Chain A
Amino acid sequence: MITLEMRDASLGYYHQPVLREINLMVAPGEMVGLIGPNGSGKSTVIKALSRIIHPSSGRILLDNRDITSIPRRELARLVGVVPQLPLLPSAFTAYEIVLMGRNPHLGLFQAEGRRDWAIAWEAMAKTATQHLASRRVNELSGGEIQCLMMARVLVQETAAILLDEPTANLDIGRQVEILDLIKNLCRGNNLSVLAALHDLNLASQYCDRLCLIHEGHIYAQGKPAEVITNENIREVYGAANCVYTHPINGLPTVLLSAGKNKVSER
Chain B
Amino acid sequence: MKRIRIATAVLIILSWLLTWFVGCGHPSPPGSFTDDSGRVITIDKTPERLISHVPGITEILFALGLGGKVVGVSTYCDYPPEAQLKAKVGGFWNPTIENIVALSPDLVFTMGSNKPLMTALDALKITYIVLQPKDIEGVLRDIELVGKVTNTAETAEKLIRDMQERILHVADRVKGARRPKVFYIIEAENLNSPWTAGPGSFIDSLISTAGGENIGAKAQAPWSQFSIEEIVNSDPDIIIIPTKHGTAFTAPEAFKEHPIWQKITAVRLGRIFTIDDDLTSRYGPRIALGLEEMARIIHPELFK
Q: Is A–B contact present in the complex under a CB 8 A cutoff?
A: no
B: residues with CB less than 8 A from A are none
